[in-house]
Structure 1
Amino acid sequence: MQPSYPHWETVPTRWKDNDVYGHMNNAVHYSIMDTVINTWLIREGGLDIHDGDTIGLCVESRCNYHAATAFPESLAVGLRVGKLGGSSVRYEVGIHRQDRETVVAEGHFVHVFVDRETRRPRPISGRLRDSLAALLVEPG
């Protein structure tokens, strides 16, 4: 059974994503996950990445690869929150073929939200918290 994702985004691969072996380089999977997460944070959470007092720092990431993909394929990327803490969040990301059936890769990122200047943890609140709660999927 496929895991559920409250948010889906289509991400096209690019010519430069292919490596010398003719498939998408493993580092690109991380870039796709990071892009989908931060697009959500900016659009839905109101995160001001340029001038805001709060920023998200990635403290953990992981990716498991299941199938090869290559340019010029577009990918369906599912996003959910597996755990929402006081100042941290664990995103779970599924990279699929466009039909959302074949899983290309699955990964997670953990962000800790901190004060831009002091780098000390800050509580996730307001619009940011609401946007992350909308992605929360209960375990089990």
Structure 2
Amino acid sequence: MVSGMERRGPADRSAYKLFRTLTTRWADNDIYGHMNNVIHYSLFDTAVNGLLIERGVLDIHGGERIFLVVETGCRYFAEIAFPDVVDAGIRVARLGGSSVRYEVGLFRHGERAAAAEGFFIHVQVDRATRRPVPVGEETRRVLERLSIG
């Protein structure tokens, strides 16, 4: 631990705007009997992109605009393992011109405190050029509903 820095504890469910339920898989466990750390990132991605697809603001097959991840991070508080069901809490911490910072809490089904909390930053880009483009109005409306400030 870095001197002078304190590690905060896990957030409560009330810190998140929306939840998506995800299932773990047999292959998610590692040799130590818990979910491998890379799976947490996959669950973050699945929760957010699933939401965007369901809300009709991301067309992964033919849309002219897509999102690319440019930064990620995660803090771990408790183990998750197959066959746990995971509730992924989602909130938008920052919505910029072409980028959005999502914060995602992974909760073992029914538990109040997050087992892991992470973030990732999406940049909306033109599918062909991969250059940043402004977040569209409809997408912005969806994301603003998840904003924490």
State TM-score, norm by structure 1. Answer: 0.94
Match of 1:66 among 62, 77, 80: 77
Equivalence for 1:21: 32
CA RMSD of aligned residues (A): 1.2
Task: Show structure 2 runs of 5+ residues with no match.
Answer: 1-10
Equivalence for 1:49: 60
Q: CA deviation at 1:97?
A: 1.5
Q: Number of aligned pairs?
A: 138
List aligned pairs for 1:1-140, cutoff 5 A. Answer: 2=12, 4-138=15-149
Task: Show structure 1 runs of 5+ residues with no match.
Answer: none
Q: CA deviation at 1:15?
A: 0.7
The runs of at least 4 consecutive aligned structure 1 residues that moved more than 6 Å come to: none
Taking only the aligned residue pairs, the percentage that are identical comes to 51
Q: Counterpart of 1:86 in structure 2: which amino acid?
A: G
| Whole-angstrom CA distance in 2 between matches of 1:119 and 1:74 | 35
Q: CA deviation at 1:69?
A: 1.4
State TM-score, norm by structure 2. Answer: 0.88
User: Are the aligned partners of 1:45 and 1:129 in contact in 2 as well (CA < 8 Å)?
Assistant: no
Q: Counterpart of 1:53 in structure 2: which amino acid?
A: E
| Whole-angstrom CA distance in 1 between matches of 2:16 and 2:47 | 13
